[in-house]
Amino acid sequence: MNISFANAYSPAKLVAVPVFKKAKGRNVDTLVDDAGAKMLDAANIDGTSGRMTFLPAGERIVLAMGAGKREKFDAEIFSANVIKALRTSGNASVAIKLDGLDLGDHHVARAAVGARLAGYRFDKHRTKIKPSQKITLTELTILCDDPDGATEHYNTHDGPIADGVLLARDLVNEPPNVIYPSNYAKRIEGLDGGLEIEILDEAKMTKLGMNALLGVGVGSERESQLVIMRWNGGEKGDAPALLVGKGVTFDTGGISLKPGANMWDMKGDMGGSAAVVGTMYALAKRNAKANVIGVVGLVENMPDGRAQLPGDIVTSMSGQTIEVQNTDAEGRLVLADALFYAIKRFKPDAVVDLATLTGAIIVTLGSHNAGLFTPSDELAKELEAASKTSGERIWRLPLDPFYDKMLDSPNADMKNIGGREAGSITAAQFLKRFVGDAKWAHLDIAGTGMKNKRSDPRETTFGTGFGVRLLNAWVAENYES
What positions carry a catalytic annotation? 258, 332
* Contact criterion met (CB below 8 Å) for 224 and 202: yes
Report the 3 state secondary structure along the chain. CEEEEECCCCCCCEEEEEEECCECCECCEECCCHHHHHHHHHCCCCCCCCCEEEEEECCEEEEEEECCCHHHCCHHHHHHHHHHHHCCCCCCEEEEECCCCCCCHHHHHHHHHHHHHHHCCCCCCCCCCCHHHCCCCCEEEEECCCHHHHHHHHHHHHHHHHHHHHHHHHHHHCCCCCCCHHHHHHHHHCCCCCCEEEEECHHHHHHHCCHHHHHHHCCCCCCCEEEEEEEECCCCCCCCEEEEEEEEEEECCCCCCCCCCCHHHHHHCCHHHHHHHHHHHHHHHCCCCCEEEEEEEEEEECCCCCCCCCCEEEECCCCCEEEECCCCCCHHHHHHHHHHHHHHHHCCCEEEEEECCCCHHHHHHCCCCEEEECCCHHHHHHHHHHHHHHCCCEEECCCCHHHHHHHCCCCCCEECCCCCCCHHHHHHHHHHCCCCCCCEEEEECCCCCECCCCCCCCCCCCECCCCHHHHHHHHHHHHHC
- Contact indicator for 344, 350 with CB cutoff of 8 Å: no
248 touches 301 (CB < 8 A): yes
Q: Pick from 280, 296, 300: which is nearest to 226 by CA?
A: 296
Q: State how far the alpha carbon of 241 is from the alpha carbons of 233, 276, 289, 352, in Å.
A: 11, 12, 12, 8
